[in-house]
Amino acid sequence: MRNQYHEELDAISTTLVEMAGLVSAAMGNATKALLEGNLAIAEEVIASDSVIDTLQHELDDRTVDLMARQQPVAGDLRTLVASLRMSADLERMGDLANHIAKVARMRYPALAVPNELREIIEKMAVVAETLSRKVAVVIRDRDIEKAVQLGADDDAMDILHRRLFTALLDPAWPHGNEVAIDMTLIGRYYERFADHAVSVGRRLYYLVTGEFADI
């Protein structure tokens, strides 16, 4: 019975790593759809969001069932509680990639991102994908050092987010309100994606140490 219990705990961690991989792929593809105006890829990202949602629902059901059957304490209880919260963060990251793909689809065949903002969005996308790949490693290896490092990547995202807003608030902005709204939302999606990645890092740190980290 104990062996089965620990196998079920390991399966929950494996599912979280799988979710992180799907989220990373979704964000990469959403960015490609956004910057290239690729409708087919945008549709793929939008359709794949249901896969991430289903994984979250199944993981949460298994976690709650395990808590009810085994009544875990100490480290095992922290693992299960943290897993519920991490799955919610990962699901939200998938939603944010989905939102970016929907902007690309809405503006097709035009590009949603003006040329002068393309570099900023490309850099925000690199940070987002880096964060999501690191999240998978952090969960898989329970690496608290890498979990703490996620905060530095989030700082880089915040700097890029401010650069984007500076451009949008320039009195000489030439693209009108509709494009400005699109870019405001896109910037917010990338910024919130990074915030949720950091949240996963905080929860993993707590899972391993029983303490809260200021990441």
Split at pLDDT 50, 70, 90, the class of 203 is very high
Q: Of 63-67, 100-104, 108-112, give the lowest mean pLDDT range.
A: 63-67
Q: Mean pLDDT over residues 18-41, rounded?
A: 97
Specify the DSSP class assigned to residue 175.
S
Q: Report yes or no on 46 lying in a domain.
A: yes
Q: What pLDDT is attached to residue 139?
A: 95
Domain extent for 8: 2-209
Positive or negative, the Cα torsion across 102, 104, 106, 108?
A: negative
DSSP code at position 113:
S
Residue 33 lies in a domain: yes
Q: Compute CA distances 118 → 17, 43, 55, 121, 187, whole Å.
A: 31, 21, 33, 5, 12
- pLDDT, the chain, mean: 94
Q: What per-residue confidence (pLDDT) applies to 162? A: 97
Output the pLDDT for position 47.
Answer: 95
Instruction: Supply the angle between the helices 2-36 and 118-141 in degrees, to the nearest 10.
Output: 170
- pLDDT tier at 2 (50, 70, 90 boundaries)? low
Mean pLDDT value of segment 65-69: 88
pLDDT at 124 over 80: yes
Q: Tell me whether residue 65 is in a domain.
A: yes
Lowest mean pLDDT among 78-82, 160-164, 195-199: 78-82
User: What number of residues does the chain have?
Assistant: 215
CB 66 within 8 A of CB 13: no
Distance CA(212)–CA(215), nearest Å, equals 9
Which CATH number goes with the domain that contains 179?
A: 1.20.58.220
Identify which of 34, 163, 24 has the alpha carbon closest to the alpha carbon of residue 99. 34
Our CA angle for 13, 199, 53, nearest 5°, is 55
Per-residue pLDDT tens digits for 183-200: 999 999 999 999 999 999
Straight-line distance from the first to the last Cα atom of the chain, in angstroms, rounded to the nearest whole number = 37
Question: 186, 161, 158: which is closest to 97 by C-alpha?
Answer: 186
Q: Report yes or no: 202 and 212 within 8 Å, Cβ to Cβ.
A: yes
The pLDDT score that the predictor gives to residue 9 is 87
CA distance 4 to 158: 43
Question: How high is the pLDDT of residue 57?
Answer: 96
The pair of three-digit structure tokens given for residue 146, joined into one six-digit string:
């890498």
> Does 66 have pLDDT greater than 70?
yes
Mean pLDDT of 59-69: 91
Determine contact, residues 132/93, Cβ cutoff 8 Å: yes
In a domain, 215, yes or no: no
In a domain, 133, yes or no: yes
Domain count, the chain: 1
Is it the case that residue 3 has pLDDT exceeding 80? no
Report pLDDT for 1: 58
Nearest alpha carbon to residue 16 among 44, 76, 58: 58
Displacement of CA 42 from its chain's centroid (Å): 17
Residue 214 lies in a domain: no
Give the tens place of pLDDT for each residue, 128-156. 999 999 999 999 999 999 999 999 999 99
Is the residue at 94 inside a domain? yes
